[in-house]
Structures are given as structure tokens and as C-alpha cells.
């Protein structure tokens, strides 16, 4: 049996006809730039998140950059975020000229609210939290802190479309929610794409101008913005996929539940366990594994693809050298980086494939005798 870590071909095989029909509809009208499909996608995505507005952009990274720009975060400002994330959530802060300030994470891989206040200085302008792995961060205490200190709140929801905290969807808590529609995300374009959500109508207007070169209309440029538009072609494809995303998420959750039930008694593996207040969408299913590297090799020899999200915490990358952090700065993040392993969890996996993964995990630890 062969179980690749990702399998986009399997996702597209059953919807290929619909996807191609959507592409052809765009060709029929030729409005490749900010065409009607972009408006419709924005409307439906806002509805999905329970927000008033959504704005389609070129990538999840650009969504973060535009959010910071719209909130006027720039040189001299500090933004509190986590080191346990994809690089984009820190890169966007550096790219607008502000300074990233990290706080450590909890066992759910998300920002530890108990550590935020000691990281706040008079230069702190915003908190940029990440709903990593498809799990919502612990929003109540984070919201309290941001209100108490008058900080903007940006939700990096790139991995968490549809995830819920106490029945409310991510992207609807902060000033702005930022989502990625990258091919490997749970709601994915066939190329790069991103979307922002907000309930604030003036931020909404600002974001629409900033993503389109600052143009209020064809001839009037009111601010220097980016060229960061969700392609109409991608929006049309995403509209097809919006019809499936709930079904796909349900399958991811069922796969996760299977792993949790089948691995719970295995002391060498620590599965993510959902809290009663949350609904994870399992963009990744990240376990902490004893003897990870040997396990990865073993699974690979059994044709089971795995990944590590992410092996090097952001504060230990070369790009972070000037920020003054080092080994030991964030013990939980660093400890997790050495143990975390992402198992395949995409919707198209079949029961026998999941069983194969589980039995090989168990075999490894039986053989290793550890």
C-alpha cells in the first residue's frame, strides 16, 4: 500500500468536470481581474466565517501583510506572535517594517495566553495569533488581553477555515482574519490565493483599495497599495470547492477521531485531543512521537508519507538572527519541534489506508521495543 502525505490528484479526480466547467465560464466572460466570481466567493466566504465582509487576495501571506498595512502597523511597532508556525506569519511582520516578538505555545501548538502580557511593551501594536493545525487558539483570554491593552488582533487562520471556538468560527474574533487558499489548504485553489475577513466596514473598504494598487477607481490612486488580487479563475474554482468543504472537513475529523481512538493507548504517541470548547478542522494531524526520526524512516519504508510542521522554530532560522533570540528562548516550541510528526489526514484517505498507518505505527514501537 502507498499513502502519500498529500494527494491533490485524488481530490480533483471526482470534481474535475465541475472545475473545468468553472474555468470555461470565466473564459466566456473574460473578466480575469476581479470578476464576478471574486465577489461571489467573497460573499460566500464571509458567510462561511460568520463575518460581515471578506476580501480575496493573492495569497495568505499577502492577506497578513495587507491586514498589518490596513491597521497601520509599521516601522517602530512590535507585533506579538508565535515561533511555532509557517514562516509567513512572522515574515509578514518583518516585511511591513515592524518587529516580531514571540511568545511560547501550549500543548495545543497555539499561543499561550498566559505568556502574552509579559511580552507587551509600549511599542506593541498588535497580536498576530495563529490557529495552527486547524485548531482555534484559546480566544477568550487572548481577546481579554487585546482589549485590556488596546492592541489590534489579527487571526492567522491559514490552516483553519471553518474551525470553531465556543461555536464561533475563526476569522470572526479579531479585527481581521487572514486565510490562505494555497493548494495544500483545506479549502484550496489550484494556485496561490488568500482571503481576509472583517466585521469593520472601514477596514473592508481600505483592504479593497490596498489590494488593488490603491485605486479607488480606474484613474484615482488614493494610497500606494499592493497588486494582490485573487484571480477570477481561482475564485471560480473555489466556488466549486466551497460546495464540498463541509464534507471534506467532516472526513478529516473522522480520520482524526480514528487515529485518536486507535492510538490513545500507545504511550510513545501523543495525539492532539480536542477540548470541549473547540472544533478543529485538522489541516494537519500532528502527534508528538517518541524517537521521531526513526519512526519517520520506518513509515517511509512502508510507503507512508509524513511531514514535520515545522522542524525548525522560526526564531532559530537565519532570517531571525537579528531578533536576538536563541536556543532555549521558547522551551515548549523547541521541545515540540523535535517530536512533532504530521500524519496523512486528507479527506480522500480510505479506511484501509488509515488502518495501515495505525498498524505500522504500532509495529514500529513493538519492534523497537521502546
Which residues of the chain form contacts with another protein (CB under 8 A)?
Answer: 7-9, 11-13, 16, 19-20, 23-24, 26-28, 30, 32-33, 58-62, 65, 75, 86-88, 90-91, 94-95, 97, 182-183, 189-192, 213-215, 219-229, 231-234, 308, 310-312, 314, 317-320
Minimum CB separation of residue 12 from another protein in Å reads 5
CB 272 within 8 A of CB 280: yes
Of the CA atoms within 13 Å of residue 318, those in its CB half-sphere come to: 0
Q: Measured from the CB atom, is 236 or 245 closer to another protein? A: 236
Minimum CB separation of residue 248 from another protein in Å reads 15
Q: Where are the alpha helices (DSSP H) in 264-349?
A: 292-301, 331-337
Q: Measured from the CB atom, is 295 or 320 closer to another protein? A: 320
Minimum CB separation of residue 58 from another protein in Å reads 5
Please write down the long-range contacts of 327-334, taking CB distance under 8 Å and 24 or more positions apart: 329/83, 329/102, 330/83, 330/84, 330/102, 330/103, 330/104, 330/105, 331/104, 332/104, 332/105, 332/106, 332/107, 332/112, 333/82, 333/83, 333/84, 333/104, 333/105
Minimum CB separation of residue 28 from another protein in Å reads 8
DSSP codes joined into one string, 245-257: HHHHHHHHHHHHH
Q: Measured from the CB atom, is 29 or 166 closer to another protein? A: 29
Q: Measured from the CB atom, is 63 or 271 closer to another protein? A: 63
Which residues is 168 bridged to in the sheet? 165
Q: What is the H or E stretch that residue 127 is in? A: strand 124-130
Backbone angles phi, psi at 359, to 5 degrees: -65, -35
Minimum CB separation of residue 243 from another protein in Å reads 16
Q: Measured from the CB atom, is 212 or 280 closer to another protein? A: 212
* Burial bucket for residue 280 (CB in 10 Å: 0-12, 13-18, 19+): buried
Q: Measured from the CB atom, is 23 or 143 closer to another protein? A: 23
Q: Measured from the CB atom, is 97 or 243 closer to another protein? A: 97
Minimum CB separation of residue 88 from another protein in Å reads 6
Minimum CB separation of residue 64 from another protein in Å reads 9
DSSP codes joined into one string, 332-360: HHHHHHTTEEEEP--TT--HHHHHHHHHH
Q: What is the dihedral of CA 91, 97, 98, 103, to 10 degrees?
A: 20
Minimum CB separation of residue 209 from another protein in Å reads 10
Q: Measured from the CB atom, is 113 or 313 closer to another protein? A: 313
Between strands 176-180 and 285-289, the pairing is unpaired
Angstrom CA distances, 323 to 17, 78, 97, 182, stand at 49, 12, 13, 28
Q: Measured from the CB atom, is 143 or 213 closer to another protein? A: 213
Minimum CB separation of residue 6 from another protein in Å reads 8
Amino acid at each position: 500500500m502507498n499513502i502519500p502525505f498529500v494527494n491533490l490528484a485524488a481530490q480533483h479526480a471526482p470534481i474535475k468536470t465541475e472545475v473545468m466547467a468553472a474555468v470555461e465560464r470565466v473564459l466566456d466572460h473574460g473578466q480575469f481581474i476581479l470578476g464576478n466570481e471574486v465577489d461571489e466567493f467573497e460573499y460566500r466566504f464571509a458567510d462561511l466565517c460568520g463575518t460581515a465582509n471578506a476580501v480575496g487576495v493573492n495569497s495568505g501571506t499577502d492577506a497578513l501583510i495587507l491586514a498589518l498595512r490596513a491597521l497601520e502597523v509599521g516601522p517602530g511597532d512590535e507585533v506579538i506572535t508565535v515561533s511555532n508556525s509557517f514562516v509567513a506569519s512572522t515574515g509578514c511582520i518583518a516585511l511591513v517594517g515592524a518587529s516580531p516578538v514571540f511568545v511560547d505555545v501550549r500543548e495545543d501548538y497555539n499561543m499561550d495566553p498566559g505568556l502574552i502580557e509579559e511580552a507587551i511593551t509600549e511599542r506593541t501594536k498588535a497580536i498576530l495569533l495563529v490557529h495552527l493545525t486547524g485548531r482555534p487558539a484559546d480566544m477568550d483570554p487572548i481577546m481579554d488581553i487585546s482589549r485590556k491593552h488596546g492592541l489590534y488582533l489579527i487571526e492567522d487562520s491559514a490552516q483553519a477555515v471553518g474551525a470553531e471556538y465556543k461555536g464561533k468560527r475563526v476569522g470572526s474574533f479579531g479585527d481581521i482574519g487572514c486565510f490562505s487558499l494555497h493548494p495544500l489548504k483545506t479549502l484550496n485553489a489550484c494556485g496561490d490565493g488568500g482571503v481576509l475577513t472583517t466585521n469593520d466596514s472601514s477596514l473592508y473598504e481600505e483592504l479593497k483599495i490596498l489590494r488593488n494598487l490603491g485605486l479607488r477607481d480606474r484613474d484615482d490612486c488614493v494610497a500606494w497599495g499592493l497588486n494582490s488580487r485573487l484571480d477570477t479563475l481561482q475564485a471560480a474554482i473555489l466556488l466549486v470547492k466551497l460546495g464540498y468543504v463541509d464534507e471534506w472537513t467532516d472526513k478529516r475529523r473522522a480520520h482524526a477521531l480514528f487515529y485518536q481512538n486507535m492510538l490513545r493507548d500507545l504511550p510513545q504517541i501523543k495525539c492532539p485531543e480536542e477540548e470541549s470548547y473547540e472544533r478543529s478542522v485538522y489541516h494537519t494531524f500532528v502527534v508528538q512521537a517518541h524517537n521521531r526520526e526513526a519512526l519517520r524512516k520506518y513509515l517511509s519504508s512502508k510507503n507512508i508519507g509524513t511531514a514535520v510542521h515545522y522542524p525548525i522554530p522560526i526564531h532559530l532560522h537565519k532570517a531571525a538572527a537579528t531578533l536576538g533570540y536563541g536556543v532555549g528562548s521558547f522551551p515548549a516550541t523547541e521541545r515540540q519541534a523535535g517530536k512533532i510528526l504530521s500524519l496523512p489526514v486528507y479527506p480522500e484517505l480510505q479506511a484501509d489506508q488509515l488502518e495501515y498507518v495505525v498498524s505500522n505505527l504500532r509495529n514500529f514501537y513493538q519492534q523497537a521495543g521502546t
